[in-house]
């Protein structure tokens, strides 16, 4: 899509992608809150002063704010946009049935969890739509050629082998093999292949390889060293498309969690973490490649947004759910001071992470080149 070329197009693509994903996330909170009788005071895309908006008949102010890096739903009874509990006793008795703090524990937990859940549902719907219309990438897991002096050759793989399982996971498409291999460089992976009508047990250790993505960012992945037939796209019926989208979402979620775990343990570089600048750059490049690529990119980002918000860090949805879990065990919520300290720590962690990923973006030469082009 040529419309998204250049800096202006990149910025537009980024704002569209981010606004849609934030809206999906916040609408999850909004919908379940309204379903449980909570009054919504504000639904904002972005932070800071309001750029424009309107007030609906229920009294909710729908608005776009001038800092388009997130959003929030402000519920009646919350102290602020981060959903810190306000003074529940200060709410008039005749309005407490509309206040978030006065809802039962399971209702509050459902409202908080609804945001990340909405992100996962969006990914499933987006992928199912792509599979049913454009088709799902499919490559038979049959080895057509083994690269000389590769991990595959060392493992004993041969041309004609059909990979039926890797690392304990059954294989239907070669795409699944690529995902497992990429996430496990220099890790011994058990393989089961069909060869001449019999099943053969092998062990392969993918070689660590550095690759560069579209934005010029370097990533360390595993590589097996086989060639397969060309990729094709298969369009399943709607029910199969939904089921395939659910499996793909689960696989992407598991892969993302494993990558985060590798970063935490030090087996993967933290420099691979990207922030808003990198997302903006990729949004423009993916949008130029076509609508189907943009929708697929949004599905992956939506999964990441859902996962990040489930991390047990105060200020995030996962932090609220952690506090609710403690409340369920104790039979009463944590004290106000403990929650306040928790939110301060959470805010510090979130801000530190934002600074770190932004530095990663700026430290990338491709990103420096991107900014240089803005002023030349």
Asked whether residue 126 is assigned to any structural domain, the reply reads: yes
Closest CA to 338 of 319, 316, 354: 319
Whether residues 339 and 354 share a domain: the answer is yes
Give the model's pLDDT for residue 321.
92
Asked whether residue 196 is assigned to any structural domain, the reply reads: yes
The pair of structure tokens assigned to 210 is: 């550095």
The pair of structure tokens assigned to 171 is: 């294989």
Domain count, the chain: 2
Q: What sign does the dihedral 121-124-128-129 (CA atoms) show?
A: positive
Active site residues: 26
The residue among 215, 234, 253 that closes a domain is 234
- Whether 23 contacts 45, CB under 8 Å: yes
CATH of the domain at 143: 2.30.42.10
The pair of structure tokens assigned to 159 is: 């041309």
Asked whether residue 328 is assigned to any structural domain, the reply reads: yes
Whether residues 320 and 178 share a domain: the answer is no
Asked whether residue 37 is assigned to any structural domain, the reply reads: no
Whether residues 279 and 353 share a domain: the answer is yes
Report CA-CA distances (Å) from 116 to 64, 314, 317: 21, 15, 8
Exposed (0-12), middle (13-18) or buried (19+): which is 11, by Cβ within 10 Å? middle
The residue among 234, 249, 279 that closes a domain is 234
- Residue identified by tokens 């990923």 is 357
Whether residues 166 and 115 share a domain: the answer is no
Q: What is the pLDDT along the chain (376 residues), one digit of tens a residue?
A: 554 555 566 778 778 888 899 999 999 999 999 999 999 999 999 888 999 999 999 899 999 999 888 889 999 887 655 555 555 567 777 778 888 888 899 999 999 999 999 999 999 999 999 999 988 888 888 888 888 888 888 988 888 889 899 888 888 888 888 888 888 888 898 989 998 888 989 898 988 887 765 545 566 788 888 888 877 788 889 999 999 999 999 988 988 887 777 777 766 666 666 666 666 666 666 767 678 888 888 898 899 889 889 988 887 899 889 989 988 988 888 777 777 777 888 778 877 777 766 676 666 645 444 444 443 3
Whether residues 283 and 355 share a domain: the answer is yes
The pair of structure tokens assigned to 166 is: 């890797």
What span, in angstroms and rounded, lies between the C-alpha atoms of 159 and 219? 28
The 3 state secondary structure assigned to the chain is CHHHCHHHHHHHHHHHHHHHHHHHHHHHHHHHHHHCCCCEEEEEEEEEEEEEEEECCCCCEEEEEEEEEEEEEEECCECCCCCCECCHHHCCHHHHHHCHHHCCHHHHHHHHHHHHHHHHHHHHHHHHHHHHHCCEEECCCECCEECCCCHHHHHCCCCCCEEEEECCEECCCHHHHHHHHHHCCCCCEEEEEEECCEEEEEEECCEEEEEECCCCCEEEEEECCEECCCCEEECCCHHHHHHHHHHHHHHHHHHHHHHHHHHHHCCCCHHHCCCHHHHHHHHHHHHHHCHHHHHHHHHHHHHHHHHHHHCCCCCCHHHHHHHHHHHHHHCCCCCHHHHHHHHHHHHHHHHHHHHHHHHHHHHCHHHHHHHHHHCC
Asked whether residue 44 is assigned to any structural domain, the reply reads: no
Whether residues 127 and 155 share a domain: the answer is no
Whether residues 293 and 207 share a domain: the answer is no
Whether residues 112 and 261 share a domain: the answer is yes
Q: Which domain holds residue 310?
A: 105-135+236-376
Whether residues 240 and 130 share a domain: the answer is yes
Whether residues 260 and 372 share a domain: the answer is yes
Whether residues 274 and 367 share a domain: the answer is yes
Asked whether residue 69 is assigned to any structural domain, the reply reads: no
- The alpha carbon of 300 is separated from its chain's Cα centroid by a whole number of angstroms, namely 5
Asked whether residue 271 is assigned to any structural domain, the reply reads: yes
Asked whether residue 68 is assigned to any structural domain, the reply reads: no
The residue among 200, 234, 268 that closes a domain is 234
- State the greatest distance between any 2 C-alpha atoms of the chain, in Å, as a whole number: 77
pTM of this prediction?
A: 0.78
Give the model's pLDDT for residue 251.
85
Whether residues 145 and 291 share a domain: the answer is no
């Amino acid at each position: 899509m040529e419309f998204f070329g250049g800096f202006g197009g990149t910025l537009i693509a980024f704002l569209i992608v981010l606004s849609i994903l934030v809206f999906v996330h916040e609408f999850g909170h909004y919908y379940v809150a309204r379903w449980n009788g909570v009054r919504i005071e504000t639904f904002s895309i972005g932070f800071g002063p309001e750029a424009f908006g309107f007030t609906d008949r229920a009294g909710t102010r729908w608005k776009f704010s001038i800092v388009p890096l997130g959003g929030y739903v402000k519920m009646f009874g919350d102290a602020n946009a981060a959903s810190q509990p306000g003074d529940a006793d200060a709410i008039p008795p005749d309005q407490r049935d509309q206040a978030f703090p006065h809802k039962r524990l399971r209702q509050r937990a459902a409202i908080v969890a609804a945001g990340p859940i909405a992100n996962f549902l969006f990914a499933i719907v987006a992928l199912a739509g792509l599979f049913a219309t454009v088709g799902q990438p499919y490559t038979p897991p049959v080895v057509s050629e083994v690269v000389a002096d590769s991990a595959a050759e060392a493992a004993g793989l041969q041309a004609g082998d059909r990979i039926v399982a890797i690392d304990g996971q059954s294989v239907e498409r070669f795409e699944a093999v690529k995902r497992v291999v990429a996430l496990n460089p220099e890790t011994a992976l058990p393989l089961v292949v069909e060869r001449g009508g019999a099943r053969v047990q092998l062990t392969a250790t993918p070689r660590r390889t550095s690759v560069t993505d579209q934005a010029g960012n370097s990533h360390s992945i595993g590589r097996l060293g086989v060639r397969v037939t060309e990729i094709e796209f298969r369009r399943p019926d709607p029910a199969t498309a939904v089921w395939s989208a659910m499996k793909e979402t689960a696989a992407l979620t598991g892969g993302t969690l494993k990558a985060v775990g590798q970063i935490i343990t030090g087996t993967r570089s933290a420099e691979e973490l990207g922030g808003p600048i990198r997302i903006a750059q990729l949004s423009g490049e993916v949008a130029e490649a076509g609508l189907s690529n943009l929708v697929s990119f949004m599905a992956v980002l939506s999964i990441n947004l859902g996962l990040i918000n489930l991390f047990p860090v105060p200020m995030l949805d996962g932090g609220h759910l952690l506090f609710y879990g403690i409340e369920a065990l104790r039979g009463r919520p944590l004290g106000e001071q403990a929650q306040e300290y928790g939110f301060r720590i959470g805010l510090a962690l979130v801000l530190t992470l934002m600074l770190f990923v932004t530095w990663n973006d700026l430290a990338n030469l491709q990103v420096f080149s991107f900014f240089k082009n803005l002023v030349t």
